[in-house]
């Protein structure tokens, strides 16, 4: 018989008055007599099945009605009606935790201010959920008869007692949300000053009594306002209450009846029945054991005025005894899954329904070691990690991650107790095998701070940085290094410094560079050495200077090159060559050769054995008294190679007079004409040479004629005079004369 449907039918005479249908939840056999046995049967609504089931279950993103329907369907309660207002808000996270289905249903309904009652039929019953008792159905009138006697043709109430009670007039709730931590999230409701029966105000004349509670179990104002109103209406639901006794079988909890026949007219009004206790005796079936006892029925009622809202008792939430373990979960293929606040999804071991994915829980906040306004620590739990979950106020609807632990599949970074002296903060590359790590080793004699950056390491110091290294320091950079110093830099090396650069070195100094070397400076260059000085160069040598060139050496000056000393020696092992724009002097084993026009200012004396002797020098210099001049050209002023086969254009006093090509000796023959002041030769490669004609060549003296023929007078023939003549020629060459 258990868990089967049953119906209890009430008759009044031959008329059926009401039914009580449900399921059999208890059946007992009592004492047995000569002809009968006593039995006891318990019939309850089908909702009672929910008393025998409990669960730990998470509901997400559902409103209360949907959650209640799920539980009712689970408990085979199919006939149900919902009349709820202000209950459409979605609960982000709602947990049934270690409580029966019935306790969870009643708790959830009470939070919405909803009560339930039943409408019974002959073979079924309908479950009603309602959170506005003003809409309760009316069942008609109840007759009051204080002095019943004899056979009454109509059922009535014979006892009716009325109470007025002092109750709070204000209810204030407050809660907290981390999304707006400065906001109080406080809601208050105040009772209206309606009159109670007898004309007194429902609000105490001594003041307003307030009830305050925290937390209010809401996270938004639109939830908190009705919550505070429901709590206040619960506190005031028995501000006016009546207790009655009678035998009217029609009375049903959750229905409104209008009282009539009471001597106080203000009692004759609609009343909501909130509870009934039925007492019935049918002694006639006991036959001889009944004696003089007959059949009897009565009920005990509790009623409130229909104008008063009826709210059920707020049910306490189950408390979580302490922290629990959970695992971080997320979408397949992800390693880190979080929202804008760094919250993660978790799965509890007790959750039989949730899958190991992002739908297992709500977003759960993560406690950090330090949390400030955009500063603090940030270590997000990753998918698969085991976490320690605590609950605010022990509320299973408010989990928060307070710690993390290792287990058999997520072991510590270093095996212990082998590395029991090692502390580390070691991360793992997202979807990779790399890691970053800050490690401390406290083993005596092996103390170490180890830092590993899988990719980049950025070090920012807004003011000073001081490093003190007691022993050695080694630094290795496998690629490039860039150092930018905004002001000065000072570097001191106590002993030696060695710098090795396998390729090039470039230095740019915006102003001066000063180097001080207390002893030697040795510079060894494997290839070329070039120094560009855009202004002056001053080299001071305290003692000797030696420049040794294995092959060729050149000194180039754009304007003037001077060498000032007591003695000046120019020595060539095979040849000495002095070259200017209009000529050159060649000294070799064959003698001294002067190429080009020679002009000597002052007396030219040759000391020899005969004062009047005239010695002839072998020259190839053509003068204005010679029909032609020959000028030899090199490829560049610094080259010894002749300019052979180069096309040129000849200009006389600025006018073009002819074209030609240098011969096999690099020479150009110029036919001179008297009166010419200036010759110019322009080569095809862009080079241009200017040859001026000095005025002295036009004086036409006898001495000039001899000189032009290559004969020079000398008064003596000594080595000193020869050196003077050579010095004068060199000086004239450098001065371009």
Confidence at residue 282, expressed as pLDDT on a 0 to 100 scale? 76
Label residues 241-258 b or e (16+ Cβ within 10 Å = b).
bbebebbbbebbebbbbe
- The answer to whether the CB of 87 falls within 8 A of the CB of 64 is yes
Task: Please indicate whether residue 701 or residue 252 has the higher confidence score (pLDDT).
Answer: 252
In this prediction, what percent of the chain has a pLDDT beyond 90? 55
- Other residues' Cβ atoms within 10 Å of the Cβ of residue 542: 5
Return the DSSP state at 666: S
Token pair for residue 29? 């056999």
> How far is it, in rounded angstroms, from Cα 110 to Cα 119?
20
* Mean of pLDDT values over 326-333: 96
Average pLDDT, the chain: 85
Token pair for residue 329? 């979960």
- The answer to whether the CB of 630 falls within 8 A of the CB of 669 is yes
Reported as a pLDDT band with limits 50, 70 and 90, residue 620 is: very low
> How far is it, in rounded angstroms, from Cα 449 to Cα 431?
27
The most confident of the ranges 33-37, 434-438, 635-639 is 434-438
* Mean of pLDDT values over 122-143: 94
Which candidate, 260, 255, 305, places its Cα nearest to that of 275? 255
Confidence at residue 607, expressed as pLDDT on a 0 to 100 scale? 47
Q: Is the pLDDT of residue 682 over 70?
A: yes
Q: Which residues pair with 96 in a beta bridge?
A: 57
Region of residue 438 (left: phi > 0; alpha: psi -120 to 50; beta: else): beta
Q: Which residues contact 64 (CB under 8 A, 6 or more apart)?
A: 84, 87, 91, 108, 109, 111, 112, 114
Q: List, as one string, the DSSP characters of 282-337.
A: EGGGGGGGTTT--EEEEEEEEEEETTSPP-PPPPPPPPP-S-EEEEEE-STT-S--
Task: Please indicate whether residue 536 or residue 81 has the higher confidence score (pLDDT).
Answer: 81
User: Across the beta sheet with 256-260, what order do the strands follow?
Assistant: 138-143, 256-260, 270-282, 295-305, 240-246, 157-164
> How far is it, in rounded angstroms, from Cα 148 to Cα 733?
160
- The topology under which CATH files domain 1-131 is Phage tail protein beta-alpha-beta fold (3.55.50)
Task: Please indicate whether residue 533 or residue 606 has the higher confidence score (pLDDT).
Answer: 533
End-to-end CA distance of the chain: 144
Q: Which residues contact 498 (CB under 8 A, 6 or more apart)?
A: none
Confidence at residue 696, expressed as pLDDT on a 0 to 100 scale? 47
Q: Is the pLDDT of residue 50 over 60?
A: yes
Token pair for residue 153? 């043709």
Q: Is the pLDDT of residue 439 over 90?
A: yes
Reported as a pLDDT band with limits 50, 70 and 90, residue 507 is: confident
Task: Please indicate whether residue 289 or residue 138 has the higher confidence score (pLDDT).
Answer: 138
Query: How do residues 99-130 score in pLDDT, each as one tens digit?
Result: 999 999 999 999 999 999 999 999 999 999 99
pTM of the full structure: 0.68
* Mean of pLDDT values over 55-70: 96
Return the DSSP state at 266: G
Q: List Cα–Cα distances, 93 to 84, 190, 345, 409, 453, in angstroms.
A: 20, 30, 12, 29, 40
Reported as a pLDDT band with limits 50, 70 and 90, residue 703 is: low
Q: List, as one string, the DSSP characters of 454-487.
A: SS------SS------SS------SS------SS
Q: Which residues contact 259 (CB under 8 A, 6 or more apart)?
A: 141, 142, 144, 157, 160, 267, 268, 269, 270, 271
Confidence at residue 603, expressed as pLDDT on a 0 to 100 scale? 59
Task: Please indicate whether residue 648 or residue 34 has the higher confidence score (pLDDT).
Answer: 648
Q: E strands along 51-90, which residues?
A: 54-62, 80-83
Peptide bond into 230 cis (omega under 30): no
Q: Is the pLDDT of residue 657 over 90?
A: no
Q: Is the pLDDT of residue 618 over 60?
A: no
Token pair for residue 659? 């074209």
Phi, psi angle pair for 235, to nearest 5°: -65, -30
Query: How do residues 159-204 score in pLDDT, each as one tens digit?
Result: 999 999 999 999 999 999 999 999 999 999 999 865 455 445 555 5
Q: List, as one string, the DSSP characters of 100-116.
A: EHHHHHHHHHHHTT-EE
Task: Please indicate whether residue 398 or residue 193 has the higher confidence score (pLDDT).
Answer: 398
Which candidate, 612, 570, 631, 621, places its Cα nearest to that of 593? 621
- The answer to whether the CB of 105 falls within 8 A of the CB of 67 is no
Confidence at residue 635, expressed as pLDDT on a 0 to 100 scale? 73
> How far is it, in rounded angstroms, from Cα 157 to Cα 143?
6
Which candidate, 401, 398, 370, 397, places its Cα nearest to that of 385? 401
Which candidate, 271, 222, 224, places its Cα nearest to that of 248? 271
What is the sign of the dihedral through the CA atoms of 73, 77, 78 and 82? negative
> How far is it, in rounded angstroms, from Cα 40 to Cα 37?
10
Confidence at residue 613, expressed as pLDDT on a 0 to 100 scale? 34
- The answer to whether the CB of 243 falls within 8 A of the CB of 161 is yes
Query: How do residues 201-247 score in pLDDT, each as one tens digit?
Result: 555 555 689 999 999 999 999 999 999 999 999 999 999 999 999 99
Confidence at residue 562, expressed as pLDDT on a 0 to 100 scale? 81
Q: Is the pLDDT of residue 623 over 80?
A: no
Confidence at residue 575, expressed as pLDDT on a 0 to 100 scale? 87
Reported as a pLDDT band with limits 50, 70 and 90, residue 397 is: very high
> How far is it, in rounded angstroms, from Cα 681 to Cα 676?
14
Task: Please indicate whether residue 315 or residue 716 has the higher confidence score (pLDDT).
Answer: 315
Q: Is the pLDDT of residue 253 over 80?
A: yes
Q: Where are the domains of the chain?
A: 1-131, 575-734
Confidence at residue 255, expressed as pLDDT on a 0 to 100 scale? 96
* Mean of pLDDT values over 574-602: 81
> How far is it, in rounded angstroms, from Cα 649 to Cα 636?
18
């Amino acid at each position: 018989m258990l868990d089967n449907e049953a119906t209890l039918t009430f008759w009044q005479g031959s008329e059926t008055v009401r039914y009580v249908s449900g399921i059999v939840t208890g059946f007992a056999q009592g004492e047995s007599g000569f002809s009968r046995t006593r039995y006891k049967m318990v019939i309850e609504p089908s909702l009672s099945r929910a008393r025998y089931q409990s669960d730990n279950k998470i509901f997400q993103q559902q409103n209360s009605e949907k959650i209640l329907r799920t539980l009712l369907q689970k408990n085979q309660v199919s006939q149900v009606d919902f009349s709820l207002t202000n209950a459409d808000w979605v609960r982000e996270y709602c947990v049934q935790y270690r409580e029966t289905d019935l306790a969870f249903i009643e708790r959830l309904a009470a939070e919405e201010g909803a009560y339930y009652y039943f409408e019974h039929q002959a073979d079924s019953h309908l479950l009603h959920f309602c959170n506005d008792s003003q809409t309760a159905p009316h069942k008609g009138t109840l007759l009051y008869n204080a002095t019943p006697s004899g056979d009454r043709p109509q059922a009535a109430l014979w006892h009716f007692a009325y109470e007025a009670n002092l109750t709070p007039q204000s209810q204030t709730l407050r809660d907290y949300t981390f999304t707006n931590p400065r906001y109080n999230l406080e809601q208050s409701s105040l009772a209206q000053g309606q009159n109670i029966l007898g004309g007194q105000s429902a609000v105490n004349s001594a003041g307003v009594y307030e009830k305050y509670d925290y937390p209010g179990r809401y996270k938004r104002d639109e939830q908190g306002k009705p919550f505070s109103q429901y709590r206040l209406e619960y506190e005031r639901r028995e501000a006016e209450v009546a207790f009655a006794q009678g035998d009217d079988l029609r009375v049903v909890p959750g229905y409104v009846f209008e009282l009539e026949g009471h001597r106080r007219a203000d009692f004759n009004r609609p009343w909501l029945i909130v509870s009934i206790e039925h007492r019935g005796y049918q002694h006639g079936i006991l036959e001889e054991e009944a004696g003089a006892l007959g059949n009897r029925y009565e009920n005990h009622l509790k009623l409130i005025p229909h104008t008063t809202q009826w709210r059920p008792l707020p049910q306490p939430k189950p408390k979580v005894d302490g922290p629990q373990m959970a695992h971080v979960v997320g979408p397949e293929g992800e390693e880190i899954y979080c929202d804008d606040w760094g919250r993660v999804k978790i799965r509890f071991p007790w959750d039989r329904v949730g899958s190991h994915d992002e739908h297992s829980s709500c977003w759960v906040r993560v406690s950090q070691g330090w949390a400030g306004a955009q500063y603090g620590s940030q270590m997000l739990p990753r998918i698969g990690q085991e976490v320690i979950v605590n609950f605010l106020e022990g509320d299973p609807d408010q989990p928060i991650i307070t710690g993390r632990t290792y287990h058999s599949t997520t072991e510590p970074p270093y095996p212990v107790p082998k590395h029991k002296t090692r502390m580390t903060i070691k991360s793992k590359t997202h979807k990779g095998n790399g890691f970053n790590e800050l490690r401390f080793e406290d083993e005596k004699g092996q103390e170490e701070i180890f830092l590993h950056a899988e990719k980049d390491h950025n070090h920012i110091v807004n003011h000073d940085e001081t490093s003190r290294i007691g022993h050695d320091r080694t630094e290795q950079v496998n690629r490039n290094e860039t150092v930018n110093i905004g002001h000065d830099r000072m570097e001191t090396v106590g002993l030696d410094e060695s710098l090795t650069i396998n390729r090039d070195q470039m230095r740019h100094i915006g102003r001066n560079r000063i180097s001080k070397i207390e002893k030697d400076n040795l510079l060894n260059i494997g290839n070329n050495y070039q120094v560009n000085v855009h202004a002056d160069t001053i080299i001071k040598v305290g003692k000797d200077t030696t420049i040794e060139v294995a092959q060729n050496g050149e000194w180039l000056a754009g304007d003037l090159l001077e060498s000032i000393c007591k003695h000046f020696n120019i020595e060539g092992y095979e040849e000495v060559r002095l070259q200017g724009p209009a000529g050159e002097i060649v000294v070799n084993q064959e003698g001294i050769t002067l190429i080009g026009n020679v002009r000597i200012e002052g007396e030219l004396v040759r000391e020899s054995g005969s004062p009047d002797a005239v010695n002839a020098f072998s020259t190839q210099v053509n003068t204005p008294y010679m029909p032609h001049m020959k000028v030899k050209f090199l490829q560049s002023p610094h080259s010894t190679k002749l300019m052979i086969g180069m096309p040129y254009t000849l200009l006389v006093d600025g006018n073009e007079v002819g074209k030609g090509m240098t011969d096999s000796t690099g020479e150009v023959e110029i036919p001179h004409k008297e009166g010419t002041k200036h010759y110019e030769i322009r080569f095809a490669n862009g080079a241009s040479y200017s040859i001026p004609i000095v005025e002295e060549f036009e004086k036409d003296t006898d001495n000039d004629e001899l000189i032009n023929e290559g004969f020079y007078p000398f008064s003596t023939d000594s080595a000193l005079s020869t050196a003077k003549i050579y010095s004068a020629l060199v000086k004239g060459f450098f001065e371009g004369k």
